[in-house]
Amino acid sequence: MSGEVHTSAEYIRHHLQNLTYGQLPDGSWGIAQSPEQAKEMGFWALHLDTLGFSIGLGVFFLYIFRRVAKQATAGVPGGLQNFAEWIVEFIEDSVKGSFSGRNPLIAPLAFTIFLWIFLMNFMDLIAVDFLPQLATMAGIPYLKVVPTTDPNATFGMAFGVFFLILYYSIKIKGIGGFFGELAFQPFGKWGLPVNLLLEGVNLIAKPISLALRLFGNMYAGEMIFILIAIMYSGGLVLGTFGGLLQVGWAIFHILIITLQAFIFMTLTIVYLDMAHQEHH
């Protein structure tokens, strides 16, 4: 990595720091050259690496499936078309099993969420030093390549789902019906304060649980890869052991990145199904 990174602590901090753009202490706008500068930029700073990789992977996903759709044939499908059809069928089965209402948005939304999150998670399988090293050579001080290790990304997606929950809850049940559920469930009108507390916490917990579950698992996985990478500087024996650990963790991590995308998608479907259900 960068010649300025000497200790294990500095190495870890370097890999966990986002490429941050915001207002510098002198009043100008630019890229933070240290974690301290990034912290001083405050809430309105932009994480350019998170935005770049997440948008880029979204465009890549759209391009691939648009290409498959344009080249689809009724005959014997090619490998890519066969894979795309398998993914579509898998998503359709998941929606049918978890969503009891009728809404043409749910299946495309689930399809997009699963594949987009999977691609962002998949970046965790790229060697931890590869892209940051290229960035350093290009004069870029930091580069965090896994968007889902940034809580800004996971909370952004979770709040998007939360707004859909609120929208369909009000659209299906009406404002009165929606607030009636919050006020009168589960203990009826005499338990109104307790109902509001319980249902309010339950409602707010949905986006928080979505965001933190994805962020926590991916952040922990990235940290383990970074710690394993440090072992390569500990000599031949420790480096060899680190290499074996890396292979084993990478194989296991394939399950994790897929499972986290699936959980986020499934919970989104379930929450939207709950938003479509009327309670009398």
3-state secondary structure of 47: strand
Write down the pLDDT at residue 76. Answer: 67
Q: With contact defined as beta carbons under 8 Å apart, do 157 and 117 qualify?
A: yes
209 is an active site residue: yes
Residue 85: C-alpha distances to residues 66, 72, 90, 97, 102 (Å)? 13, 10, 9, 18, 22
Write down the pLDDT at residue 132. Answer: 92
Name the residue ranges covered by the structural domains of the chain. 50-139+148-276
The residue annotated as part of the active site, out of 2, 13, 152, 213, is: 213
102 is an active site residue: no
217 is an active site residue: yes
Write down the pLDDT at residue 9. Answer: 86
Whether pTM > 0.75 for this model: the answer is yes
pLDDT tens-digit readout, 128-184: 999 999 999 999 999 999 999 999 999 999 999 999 999 999 998 888 888 887 777
Write down the pLDDT at residue 197. Answer: 86
Write down the pLDDT at residue 91. Answer: 92
Determine whether 25 is exposed, middle or buried from the number of CB atoms within 10 Å of its CB (0-12, 13-18, 19+).
exposed
pLDDT < 70 positions in the chain: 1-6, 74-77, 190, 278-280
CA nearest neighbour of 184 among 176, 174, 175, 196: 196
Q: With contact defined as beta carbons under 8 Å apart, do 187 and 195 qualify?
A: yes
User: For residues 115 and 112, what is the distance between their CA atoms, to the nearest angstrom?
Assistant: 6
The residue annotated as part of the active site, out of 82, 100, 202, 209, is: 209
